[in-house]
Amino acid sequence: MRAIAWAPLLVTGVLAIAMIGLLDAGSPLDSGDSLTLLRMMGPLLGAAAGFTVLDEMAAATAANPVSRGLRHRIRCLAGGLTAGAWWAVTCAIAVARLPEGGVLRLPGMAVEAATCIVAGLLAVSVAARFYQGRAAVLAGMGGLLGVFSVTLVLHGPYWPWLYPDRPTWEVVHYGWSAALVLLLVALDVTGRGPRGTR
């Protein structure tokens, strides 16, 4: 756990809380603004979580009796849960600041955030197959942010132009849930080493 790069997640989490807490401080925060901010936090926390995948001690632990796959799962679990905790705290602040009658559809938003975080972990895991050290993290982050930028430009019904009052909200989030499962499977497969190695 000491070998994991926690600083990016710590900085991103603090910034997320500061953004949601300080925007229009002293007055209720509109549901639309809360939705936009919480959606922004998913990709940002996913990119920061990618740093936890980086194994700077890989050369020293190559002969470790613990398999590469298990070490990868521990890193992803630690990074994913920490990013998820930051998002949950940010979400709690947003809910506390809602005006009377304001509503956030939290289950769907949580699935979006979890998918973004897992996508960040997967992007760096894939990049680590081709690059070493910080270059892998930068390549993974670049790929992740590139995907999100393209989806913004496409104005698709899935992200982020979908709002809770749309009738397709539930159906689209079934798709998000399916994507989350596929990304988790891909993340586990990507973390495995070549057959016969540890």
Q: What is the mean pLDDT of residues 80-85?
A: 96
- Cβ-contact 176, 108 below 8 angstroms: yes
Provide the Cα torsion 143, 148, 154, 160; round to 10°. Answer: 170
Question: How many other C-beta atoms lie within 10 A of the C-beta of residue 66?
Answer: 10
Distance in angstroms (rounded) separating the CA atoms of residues 123 and 111: 18
Calpha distance 2→80 (Å, rounded): 16
Residue of 121, 112, 113 whose CA lies nearest to 176: 112
Q: Are 48 and 4 contacting, i.e. CB atoms less than 8 angstroms apart? A: no
User: What pTM does this model have?
Assistant: 0.87
Spatial CA neighbour of 168 closest among 178, 176, 158: 158
How high is the pLDDT of residue 154? Answer: 78
Predicted local confidence at residue 196, as pLDDT:
35
**Long-range contacts of range 85-90, CB-CB < 8 Å, 24 or more positions apart?**
85/13, 86/9, 86/12, 86/13, 86/16, 86/17, 86/41, 86/45, 87/16, 87/38, 87/41, 87/42, 87/45, 87/113, 87/117, 89/13, 89/17, 90/13, 90/16, 90/17, 90/20, 90/37, 90/38, 90/41
Is residue 63 predicted with pLDDT exceeding 60?
no
Q: Which amino acid type is present at position 18?
A: A
Residue type present at position 94: A
pLDDT tens figures, 103-131: 788 888 999 999 999 999 999 988 888 88
Amino acid at 195: R
pLDDT digits (tens, 9 = 90+) for 147-186: 888 887 777 777 766 777 788 888 888 999 999 999 999 9
In terms of C-beta density within 10 A (0-12 exposed, 13-18 middle, 19 or more buried), how is residue 177 classed? middle
